[in-house]
């Protein structure tokens, strides 16, 4: 059989950002509005600093306003909640993202619950999770939203397909399952206690791997021709000591079996930030009673 098509998430995300930037121009012209995203970083976690810098750059490139707040690692929960209360009230701020993980003195659930539901561009607030579960207009978490956009483009009509989601996190697995159900897939949510993971995966026309275990999904777990979306980002050791990023799927084996597959890096990752921009645009529109545009990646 021919090798799988490799889904170029980097290129797909660039096309999505172009389409978003065009909508931002239109929103300014027609309504005088510029979407604004506030990103709050507490402490100096090196990976988080890189994420936050990239988010700021891409927000500005899309024509939106970026507000970055860096708070010391010693910030108390009460201080952070006071910052969030200010951002909730600020009309220039349409989206709020508090970068995770937070220092240990701060309860992330309390912080997430304090963000205004309409400004929760991460889609982590329990009310947004509930709205998604009942199929209402929610803010949808960025990573599963990016996966869904890629599936709509590369997996053919979704209705009726068997989708297996590996991993039941609140950030990826659960919202991914809800989104696929909304698209009329037959959804299985599998996890570490699933009795025969390999056999469950073999049933999947669409397989989403989000377990955080390097190369756990083997080539013979994949149904020939399936669409495989790999959400994992794991660093594995290499002889030169630098390490190498791999996904949750054994890519070299899977590419021989699947119909289409996302690589790591360069698959799901770039789509996550692009979907953060999309959520910021959507939030801005909804806050002003303007219908949110159905943004699709620009043509190649
Ligand atoms: N840390 C790593 N990824 C994310 C994300 O998508 N949102 C937030 N808030 N923190 C993160």
Tokens of 47: 């990976």
| Geometric angle at alpha carbon 99, from 165 and 276, rounded to 5° | 60
CA 99 / ligand 1 centre spacing (Å): 5
Could you tell me which residues are beta bridge partners of residue 98? 40
In a domain, 42, yes or no: yes
Query: Do 225 and 189 lie in a common domain?
Result: yes
To test the pocket of ligand 1, the residue of 122, 142, 275 to mutate (highest count of ligand atoms within 8 Å of its CB) is 122
Q: Which range of residues forms the domain containing residue 102?
A: 33-117
CATH code of residue 56: 3.40.50.10860
Q: Is any ligand 1 atom within 6 A of the Cβ of residue 98? A: yes
CATH code of residue 242: 3.40.50.720
Q: How confident is the model at residue 153 (pLDDT cuts 50, 70, 90)?
A: very high
User: Residue 214: which of 250, 265, 239, 190 has the closest Cα?
Assistant: 250
Per-residue pLDDT, 1: 65
* Higher-pLDDT residue of 297, 299: 297
Q: How far apart are CA 85 and CA 266, in angstroms?
A: 36
Q: Which residues contact 128 (CB under 8 A, 6 or more apart)?
A: 117, 120, 138, 139, 140
Q: Over the stretch 240-291, which tens digit does the pLDDT of each residue have?
A: 999 999 999 999 999 999 999 999 999 999 999 999 999 999 999 999 999 9
Closest residue by Cα to atom 1, ligand 1, is 100
Structural domain total, the chain: 2
Query: Do 47 and 105 lie in a common domain?
Result: yes
CA 202 / ligand 1 centre spacing (Å): 31
Query: Do 186 and 68 lie in a common domain?
Result: no
> Which strand ranges, in their side-by-side order, compose the sheet holding 162-166?
5-6, 260-261, 227-230, 206-209, 162-166, 186-190
CB 153 within 8 A of CB 183: no
Q: Is any ligand 1 atom within 6 A of the Cβ of residue 147? A: no
Q: Over the stretch 197-256, which tens digit does the pLDDT of each residue have?
A: 999 999 999 999 999 999 999 999 999 999 999 999 999 999 999 999 999 999 999 999
Q: How far apart are CA 45 and CA 148, in angstroms?
A: 30
CA 100 / ligand 1 centre spacing (Å): 5
Q: How confident is the model at residue 299 (pLDDT cuts 50, 70, 90)?
A: confident
Query: Do 146 and 262 lie in a common domain?
Result: yes
In a domain, 281, yes or no: no
Q: Is any ligand 1 atom within 6 A of the Cβ of residue 142? A: yes
Instruction: Tell me which of 23, 99, 161, 215 is the catalytic residue.
Output: 99
CB 248 within 8 A of CB 258: no
For 40, list phi and psi in degrees, rounded to 5. -110, 125
Residue 29, pLDDT above cutoff 90: yes
Q: Establish whether 99 is a catalytic residue.
A: yes
Closest residue by Cα to atom 9, ligand 1, is 99
Query: Do 107 and 154 lie in a common domain?
Result: no
Q: What is the mean pLDDT of the chain?
A: 97
Average confidence (pLDDT) over 56-61:
98
CA 17 / ligand 1 centre spacing (Å): 19
Instruction: Tell me which of 58, 119, 120, 122 is the catalytic residue.
Output: 122
Could you tell me which residues are beta bridge partners of residue 166? 190, 209
Instruction: Tell me which of 23, 55, 119, 250 is the catalytic residue.
Output: 55
Closest residue by Cα to atom 3, ligand 1, is 100
Query: Do 147 and 261 lie in a common domain?
Result: yes
Query: Which ligand 1 atom is at minimum distance from the Cα of 97?
Result: 9
In the chain, what percentage of residues exceed pLDDT 70?
Answer: 100
In a domain, 200, yes or no: yes
Query: Do 146 and 261 lie in a common domain?
Result: yes
Query: Do 181 and 263 lie in a common domain?
Result: yes
In a domain, 18, yes or no: no
In a domain, 295, yes or no: no
Q: Is any ligand 1 atom within 6 A of the Cβ of residue 96? A: no
In a domain, 19, yes or no: no
In a domain, 104, yes or no: yes
Q: How many residues does the chain have?
A: 300
In a domain, 122, yes or no: no
According to DSSP, the β-strands at 227-230 and 162-166 are: unpaired
CA 263 / ligand 1 centre spacing (Å): 20
Alpha carbon separation from 261 to 26, 68, 89, 231, 256 (Å, rounded): 34, 35, 43, 11, 10
């Amino acid at each position: 059989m021919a090798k799988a098509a490799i889904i170029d998430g980097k290129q797909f995300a660039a096309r999505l950002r172009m389409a978003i930037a065009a909508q931002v121009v239109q929103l300014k012209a027609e309504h005088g509005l510029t979407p604004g995203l506030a990103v709050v970083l507490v402490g100096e976690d090196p990976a988080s600093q890189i994420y936050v810098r990239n988010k700021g750059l891409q927000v500005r490139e899309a024509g939106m306003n970026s507000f970055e707040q860096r708070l010391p690692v010693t910030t108390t929960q009460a201080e952070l909640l006071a910052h969030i209360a200010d951002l909730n009230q600020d009309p220039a701020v349409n989206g709020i993202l508090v970068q995770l993980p937070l220092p240990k003195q701060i309860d992330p659930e309390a912080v997430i619950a304090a963000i205004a539901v309409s400004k929760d561009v991460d889609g982590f607030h329990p009310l947004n999770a509930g709205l998604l579960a009942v199929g209402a207009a929610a803010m949808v978490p960025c990573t599963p939203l990016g996966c869904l956009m890629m599936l709509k483009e590369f997996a053919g009509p979704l209705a009726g397909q068997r989708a297996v989601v590996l991993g039941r996190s609140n950030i990826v697995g659960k919202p991914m399952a809800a989104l696929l159900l909304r698209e009329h897939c037959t959804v299985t949510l599998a996890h570490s206690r699933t009795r025969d993971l390999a056999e469950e995966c073999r049933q999947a026309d669409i397989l989403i791997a989000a377990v955080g275990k390097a190369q756990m999904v083997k080539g013979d777990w994949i149904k020939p021709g399936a669409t495989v979306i790999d959400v994992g980002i794991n660093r594995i050791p290499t002889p030169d000591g630098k390490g190498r990023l791999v996904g949750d799927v054994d890519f070299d084996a899977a590419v021989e079996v699947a119909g289409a597959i996302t690589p790591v890096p360069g698959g799901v990752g770039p789509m996550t930030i692009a979907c953060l921009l999309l959520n910021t645009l959507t939030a801005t529109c909804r806050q002003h009673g303007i219908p949110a545009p159905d943004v699709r990646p620009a043509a190649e």
